[in-house]
Amino acid sequence: MPNDIPDEEVDRLYTELDAEAEAGGYHLNPDREFTRGLVCGLLVNRDRYGYIACPCRLATGRREDDLDIICPCDYRDPDLAEYGACYCALYVSADVKTGKREAEPVPERRPPRPERKKMREERESTSAAPSTLAYPVWRCRVCGYLCARNAPPEICPICRVPRERFERFM
Amino acid sequence: MPNDIPDEEVDRLYTELDAEAEAGGYHLNPDREFTRGLVCGLLVNRDRYGYIACPCRLATGRREDDLDIICPCDYRDPDLAEYGACYCALYVSADVKTGKREAEPVPERRPPRPERKKMREERESTSAAPSTLAYPVWRCRVCGYLCARNAPPEICPICRVPRERFERFM
Amino acid sequence: MPNDIPDEEVDRLYTELDAEAEAGGYHLNPDREFTRGLVCGLLVNRDRYGYIACPCRLATGRREDDLDIICPCDYRDPDLAEYGACYCALYVSADVKTGKREAEPVPERRPPRPERKKMREERESTSAAPSTLAYPVWRCRVCGYLCARNAPPEICPICRVPRERFERFM
């Protein structure tokens, strides 16, 4: 991919993303050259659109339409839980990072455009609380951290215990 | 403000507050001299009262009455969301920090004393769960982090995505 | 305790646990030699069982039966809140760390085996949300952080304010 992104800028964002990932219990793909390519793609998108849209998906350039695919995308965490990697394989699970497991091919879980539009309109049409919980709530049995996701996180971002220490709370 | 606080002590607390702020998704005011003055005020209050009461408000010296204005005060986050700065301007939003927006004058949102007293008594009169939620619950669409506040935080403290990635959850 | 754990390995885990503890608002026991002994015990258990079972309790070697006593155990946080130390005294409260208070003897709060088995079966028998909340939910009055535990955490892991700034939310 020919582009004008200086190497130092790629390295700077790489280092930043890596530090943030590790602090939050996430991991960049350990294949450094592959990952640098994706980080470079993020910077190309930042120049083009003004935000770091996913380098593996086609952005519209309208921020409000691309919000769910600004990296990290809304789909990263369910993909990490199910396949060991996000759609781009920029982020991988601990097992994949340490070579205990191979990442699987990740099918696109982003809903098609009309469905996304409908979901967004529903969200925006009301500032009131939804009448039912949109996601299960998980509780870390060690520190009590709560989060609402389809599956618990790989590690607790507060006390670092693994997924198996979470229980369904609501 | 003449006082006996040694410069090194001000610098030490400044550095500590700055590191904690950035780790949690907050920012100290980038005007270093202004901010040092406030940090010095915090230390004056610590000497006087035993806790770092807000340097811009009058403390009573009774910890239980001043709890809501021990820095960071209970009003910082709503003020950051609405005005780009806390009441003292010790903390500012990312937009204000980077100069994209100017902080607005921040009116005092702390309720008057009788009202605070009443609220505290209500809280203390029961250890049971309130029958209705006192604040809306927001969910980070990326990592599932939940928090209860009038508006979502500026960035997700877990995965660092901005406010626009939050949705109303309860 | 004679064992084959090299000193450097003990030091490595010690440093790692210490950094994680401080980042999450926890503290290792400041008695360095005592704590090194416990860390060594964790490594002995890791060699023996494949996971860092509590060095002060008898593990079965079946991970699913020992899950609640893999360090940090499910009982650390209530013990810290009530006694100022966990069962092993590997973790201590800030007051104990700074010498303001002495840790008290910590009785074993782990339920007996049949009760644990029953609780686990109940958890596993359903992936649905429990009909009532198993723990009270606490809210940090400063940043809105939510957690579900018997008592609020010693400090807010997000904005670092102390326990007294939490209120009952659900």
Read off the pLDDT of residues A64-77 as tens digits, 9 standing for 90 and up.
999 999 999 999 99
Q: State residue C123's pLDDT score.
A: 76
Q: Which residues of A touch B25 (CB under 8 A)?
A: none
Nearest to B148 among C159, C164, C169 (CB): C169
Q: State residue C122's pLDDT score.
A: 80
Q: State residue A153's pLDDT score.
A: 94
Q: Using 50, 70 and 90 to split pLDDT, how confident is the model at C126?
A: low
8 Å CB contact of C20 and A133: no
Specify the 3-state DSSP secondary structure of B127. coil
Q: Which two tokens stand for residue A42?
A: 């993020």
Count contacts between B and C (CB, < 8 Å): 63
Between CA A33 and CA A43 the distance in angstroms is 15
pLDDT > 60? residue A40: yes
A141 Cβ under 8 Å from any chain C Cβ: yes
Q: State residue C2's pLDDT score.
A: 57
Q: Which two tokens stand for residue A5?
A: 């992104």
With 0-12 / 13-18 / 19 or more C-beta atoms within 10 angstroms meaning exposed / middle / buried, residue A168 is: middle
Q: State residue C124's pLDDT score.
A: 75
Close Cβ partners of A28 (under 8 Å, ≥ 6 residues apart):
A14, A17, A18, A21, A35, A90, A91, A92
Nearest to A77 among B144, B164, B170 (CB): B144
pLDDT tens readout for residues B18-31: 999 998 899 999 99
Q: State residue B109's pLDDT score.
A: 95
Q: Within the 45-64 window of chain B, which residues sit less than 8 Å (CB to CB) from chain C?
A: none
Exposure b/e, A140-150, CB count within 10 A at least 16 = b: bbbbbbbbbbe
pLDDT tens readout for residues A68-111: 999 999 999 999 999 999 999 999 999 999 999 998 999 999 99
For residue C156, give the chain A residue with the closest CA. Answer: A158
Average pLDDT, stretch B96-108? Answer: 94
A139 Cβ under 8 Å from any chain C Cβ: yes
Between CA C37 and CA C76 the distance in angstroms is 18
Exposure b/e, B108-117, CB count within 10 A at least 16 = b: eeeeeeeebe
Q: Which two tokens stand for residue C157?
A: 């892991």
Average pLDDT, stretch C22-43? Answer: 95
- Identify which of A112, C165, C151 has the alpha carbon closest to the alpha carbon of residue B71: C165
Q: Which of A36-45, A141-150, B117-126, B143-152 has the least mean pLDDT?
A: B117-126
Q: State residue B123's pLDDT score.
A: 76
In the beta sheet, which residues pair with residue B31? none
Q: Which two tokens stand for residue B117?
A: 């007293």
Q: State residue B7's pLDDT score.
A: 94
A149 Cβ under 8 Å from any chain B Cβ: yes
Q: Which residues of B touch A138 (CB under 8 A)?
A: 144
The percentage of chain A sitting over the pLDDT mark of 70, rounded to a whole number, equals: 97
Average pLDDT, stretch C102-115? Answer: 94
B159 Cβ under 8 Å from any chain C Cβ: no
Average pLDDT, stretch C40-47? Answer: 97
With 0-12 / 13-18 / 19 or more C-beta atoms within 10 angstroms meaning exposed / middle / buried, residue A55 is: buried
Q: Using 50, 70 and 90 to split pLDDT, how confident is the model at B126?
A: low
Nearest to A147 among B145, B164, B168 (CB): B145
Close Cβ partners of B81 (under 8 Å, ≥ 6 residues apart):
B93, B150, B151, B154
Chains that touch C (3 or more CB pairs under 8 A): A, B
ipTM for the assembly: 0.85
8 Å CB contact of A73 and B143: no
pTM for this one?
0.85
Which of C143, C167, C169, C170 to probe the B interface (max B CBs under 10 A)?
Answer: C143
pLDDT > 70? residue A1: no
- The pLDDT mean for chain A works out to 93
Specify the 3-state DSSP secondary structure of B162. strand
Between CA A92 and CA A17 the distance in angstroms is 13
pLDDT > 70? residue B2: no
**Token pair 């769960």: residue:** B129
Q: Within the 105-134 window of chain C, which residues sit less than 8 Å (CB to CB) from chain B?
A: 133
8 Å CB contact of C142 and B74: yes
Q: What are phi and psi of B53, to 5 degrees?
A: -60, 150
B41 Cβ under 8 Å from any chain C Cβ: no
Q: Quick count: other Cβ atoms within 10 Å of Cβ A167?
A: 17
Q: Which residues of C touch B78 (CB under 8 A)?
A: none
> Inter-axis angle of helices C7-24 and C32-49, to 10 degrees?
110
For residues C154 and C83, is the Cβ–Cβ distance under 8 A?
no
Q: Which two tokens stand for residue B79?
A: 């003020």
Average pLDDT, stretch A131-142? Answer: 92
